[in-house]
Structure formats: structure tokens, C-alpha cells
Amino acid sequence: MSVWVDLQGQEPVVAQLRRAAQSPNPTHAWLITGPPGSGRSNAARAFAAALVCEREELAERGCGVCHACHTTLAGTNADVTFVATDKTTIAIDEARELVVKAQDRPSSSRWRVMIVGDADRMSERTTNVLLKAIEEPPPRTIWILCTPSPADVLVTIRSRCRAVSLRLPPVRDVAALLVRRDGIEPALALQAARAAQSHVGIARRLARDAGARERRDAIVRLPLTLRDVTSAVTAAGSLMELATAEATSSNDERDAAEKAELLRNLGAPETGTLPPALRAQIRALEEDQKRRAKRSVTDMLDRALTDLLSFYRDALVLQLAARPGPAVVVHEDNHGPVELVPVELVNEPLRAQLGEYAARSRPEATLARMAAVNDTRRRITTTNVAPLLALEAMAAGLL
């Protein structure tokens, strides 16, 4: 099985990365960009696996069955370093450690591969630490940076990297991946992929967690409850609670597993009081988990607002469909006439309620509401605004 098998709907990118992995001298620095859910990290890992693959024949690299491919995809290959962060930013000390590690020769592979999964979460000062290492890496080191867009890294970094741009895969490709990889029932997989708007990770969670599906449904229905300022404040509070519940649900299991693993690695007793030295390490872990939880709530709020946007997006589609001419996506065919494909609703189960809502408003008003939601997303993710206050102000503006 090839290392590229999970990169659904990314055929041009797979072809580009496959050619590079099969080259005797691939480019030394890469910038993989794409919207959330497009599979940037998966593409980086697959590319790294192909680079260190044990196959001698260039055309066979990225086989997916050799030891190097398996360990790279599992995150345990000694010659592949993957750095991401659960915090707000990647610390400058972490960047310095990467630069030092990048100087090491590969222990058993052709290349040492350095992957920065959240390159957009580095400050300018931190990015400058990497600049020299990326500009003049050791002969056997390859850097792979992942960001949502090229503008998320300094132009000095961008100019030294070969760019690869991912797209969100088609809904049916995501559904097919869930069916094949996770054993999800096809109808549920398609429903989850559409609700997640092709975000593979979110689609997988929606397909496997009924509670996540219920929370998303409650978020999407919030505009139907807006009647006055009181209902707007209530809706904002509900949105905050739902996002917090989703973040807590996704973190609790991981936090417990991390704590259990740390205690096991430290040889801590199963019962009784922990020694002071062990208590200090547990406290450090819990502090890291608290910082991660704060970012997780911010990320979940952003996701909740994205789900909320899908309601207004569907309403806009129905409003435009009610005007002369169909609401369509235009596909140009070089060998024939233009094909008009009807636009599907993200929230198909709510079509009746969406239709009633769309009939009571105008497209211009819907666009203004979408702008208000996007402005709130920006404020929550890039400023120190109190999230609940920002949500209340937004909800009042959606009336």
C-alpha cells in the first residue's frame, strides 16, 4: 500500500511530491500550504516517508510497506522529526533545538527530514532562527514547513522553499476515505464529510462521535432562535458552552492517557502518595495540558463559527436559487459545452427551515451576517478579546 493512499483528492500534489521523492537530489526546503482539513500534515508525513523509503528503485519509493515507511507514518522514525504545538506559538527554544538536530547526519536513511507542522505559529523572531538553517542546510537534510497559506511565513522563508498547494478534497473523496480507512457506514460517512465541509479530521470525529454530531447540529440551528437581544445573548452563551464542551470532550481522553503514560514511565506507585520529584513532573504536565485546553477552546470556537457560517452559506444559496437563473457551480469543459452543476447544501437535513429563513431575508443581509461571523472569528483567534463578549456582540448583529 502506497504512502500516498490517504491523500484523497490531491492527485496533482501527489504527482509533484512523488516525482521529488524519486529524484536523486530533491529540493532542500518545501512549503506545503492548504486550508484547515486539506491534509497538510498527512502530505508532509507521506512525502517524508517516500524520501526515506528503503526501496533502491527510484520509482518504488513511497512503497508504504518497508520499515522506514511504517515508522515515518507512525511518527517513530529516528531520521524524521515532526514538530507541531498545542500551544499558541512554537517557542524560540524549540526552533533552536530543531536547528541543532538538523545538523545531524541521517542515522539509517538517505535523508534527515525536518517537518514543522505549525510554521504559521512561529513569531518573526522564531522564524529568523530557522532562516539560516533553511537557506543553507546540511547536504542530507530536507525541511518541510506546513502553513494554511504562503503569507503565514516570512517572505525570506517563502522565497527559499518550493511551494506545494493543497485544496480541500471533494466531499465524496472524504467519505470514501472514511469508509475505507475507518469502516464508517457509507451514508453516515457522506453526511459527516458534507457537514465537515471536507475537513478530514472533523469528518472523522463527526462520523465516530454522536455527541459531536449533536453539538454541531445545535450550533447550526442557533440562527433559528434569534428573535431579540435577549435571545441573542442566550445564543452567544449557548455557543460558548457548546464549543467548550466539544473542546473538553476531545481533550479529556488524551489528558488521562498522557498522565497514565507519564506515571508508568516514571515507575510511580499505583496507590499512595507520590514522591515530591514525581509530583513536580505531574504538575508540569498538567500546566501544559491547561495551556493546550485554552488553545483548544479557541480552536473549537473558530470551528463552531465555521459551522455557523455554513447555515448562512446555505441560506444564501437558496436565496440566489430563488432569483432568475439556477444556483450553480460552473465547470468549463475544454472538449464540450459548459456544464452547470447545482450547488448542494452543507446542512441538507435543515433544508425546510433554511428555506423559510431565506425567504424572510435578502442576500445582502445574509452576506453582512457572514461578514460579522468572519470578523468575530478573526477577533477571537488573533486578539485578546473576551470570547463571550465577542460572541454576544456578534449575535446581536445577526438579528
Same domain, 15 and 164: yes
Residue where a domain stops, chosen among 168, 188, 203: 168
- Are 164 and 310 part of one and the same domain? no
pLDDT of residue 253: 67
| CA-to-CA dists, residue 156 to 7, 44, 45, 153, angstroms | 29, 21, 24, 8
Structural domains of the chain, count: 2
User: Domain with 89 in it: what CATH number?
Assistant: 3.40.50.300
- Domain boundary, last residue among 114, 140, 168: 168
DSSP letter string over 238-258?
A: HHHHHHHHHHHHHHHHHHHHH
What domain range includes position 391?
Answer: 306-330+340-397
Do 164 and 313 lie in one domain? The reply is no
Query: What DSSP letter does each residue of 96-131 carry, written as one string?
Result: HHHHHHHTSPPSSSS-EEEEETTGGGS-HHHHHHHH
pTM of the model: 0.76
User: From CA 303, how far away is CA 247, in angstroms rounded?
Assistant: 10
Digit-by-digit pLDDT tens for the chain (399 residues) are: 689 988 878 889 999 999 999 888 899 999 999 988 888 999 999 999 999 999 988 888 899 899 999 999 988 999 999 987 766 678 888 888 888 999 989 988 889 999 998 888 888 888 888 888 888 888 899 999 999 988 888 888 888 999 999 988 889 989 998 998 889 999 999 999 999 998 888 999 999 989 889 999 999 999 999 999 999 999 999 999 888 887 777 666 677 777 777 777 777 765 667 777 677 777 777 777 776 677 778 888 998 999 999 999 999 999 988 665 544 454 444 445 555 456 689 999 999 999 999 999 999 999 999 999 999 999 988 888 899 999 999 999 998
Residue 150 lies in a domain: yes
Q: Is residue 234 part of a domain?
A: no
Residue 201 counted as domain residue: no
Domain boundary among 119, 140, 168: 168
The verdict on residue 20 lying in a domain is yes
67 lies in some domain: yes
Residue 394: all three cell numbers together: 456578534
